[in-house]
Every structure is written in structure tokens, then in C-alpha cells.
């Protein structure tokens, strides 16, 4: 699998919380490809919040802090900040597709990742 991908919180949460699920192995494979520079990966700065929040609710604060640190230091993962342009696009996306607010933000960020990749060609 080559290319550029927008990665959401599930890719980080499945290996931590649901080790025996089929999706966990897929997620570990994606993370290995990011680490090995086989794929170019982007995520939102909001993903840190999502990962930290879910891990804290499930495993506790200590684990959440550790996983949050590992997430921020994950090699070759690029972060796209949520700025006013992203939020404005998210509103348009939400109205057009009736998505939840956070899903609209992620879709807007995914579109920005495509733009970044096209710019870097």
C-alpha cells in the first residue's frame, strides 16, 4: 500500500484497546508502514484528544498520558492543525452531508491532506 493517507483515531486505538480484533492487525500494519516510510500519513491535531480521551475512559489516566506521548512522538506522522479555514469548510461539509461536527472536521482535514500531497509532488 503506497500513497498518502489521512489516519483517524481508530488506527491508534485498535492496537491499544482491541488487540484481538481483525482490525487491530490491519491497524498495526498501517502503523508499521508509516514508521517504515512506506506511506505518507497525516492526521488531525484533534486525533490526539480523541485517542487520549478514549484511552483515559477505558484504561485510566496514567495509560492515557503514556499513549498520548507515544502518539505525539510517532515517527513520520504529520499533523494538520484545525484552523478557522478548516472549521469553515467543516460547516459547509456538515450542511451538505449531514455529518456530525467532528466527522465534518476530519473530512475537511482529509481534503487538506490531499492538497498538501498535491503541493508536495
Domain extent for 79 = 3-120
**For residue 116, what pLDDT is reported?**
61
Domain count, the chain: 1
Mean pLDDT by 10 residues, the chain (121 residues): 85 91 92 95 94 97 97 95 95 96 92 61 32
What is the residue whose three cell numbers read 476530519? 106
Residue 23 CB neighbour total at 10 angstroms: 13
Nearest to 8 by CA among 64, 63, 46, 34: 46
d(CA 24, CA 116): 28
Cα→Cα distances 62→17, 57, 59, 66, 104, Å: 15, 11, 8, 6, 30
**For residue 19, what pLDDT is reported?**
80
Cell of 2: 503506497
Cell of 43: 492526521
**For residue 100, what pLDDT is reported?**
96
**Which DSSP helix (H) or strand (E) runs through 104?**
helix 101-120
Domain with residue 91: its CATH number is 3.40.50.1010
**For residue 35, what pLDDT is reported?**
96
- In this structure, which long-range contacts are made by residues 99-105, counting pairs with CB atoms below 8 Å and at least 24 apart in sequence? 102/46, 102/50, 105/44, 105/46
CA geometry: angle 30, 52, 116, nearest 5 deg: 50
**For residue 21, what pLDDT is reported?**
84
- Tally the residues of the chain: 121
Amino acid at each position: 500500500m503506497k500513497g498518502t493517507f489521512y489516519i483517524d483515531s481508530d488506527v491508534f486505538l485498535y492496537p491499544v484497546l482491541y488487540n484481538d480484533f481483525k482490525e487491530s492487525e490491519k491497524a498495526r500494519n498501517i502503523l508499521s508502514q508509516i514508521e517504515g516510510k512506506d506511506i505518507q500519513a497525516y492526521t488531525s491535531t484533534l486525533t490526539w484528544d480523541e485517542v487520549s480521551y478514549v484511552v483515559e475512559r477505558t484504561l485510566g489516566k496514567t495509560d492515557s498520558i503514556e499513549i498520548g506521548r507515544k502518539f505525539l512522538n510517532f515517527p513520520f506522522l504529520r499533523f494538520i492543525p484545525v484552523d478557522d479555514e478548516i472549521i469553515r469548510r467543516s460547516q459547509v461539509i456538515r450542511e451538505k452531508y449531514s455529518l456530525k461536527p467532528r466527522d465534518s472536521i476530519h473530512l475537511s482535514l482529509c481534503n487538506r491532506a490531499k492538497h498538501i500531497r498535491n503541493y508536495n509532488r
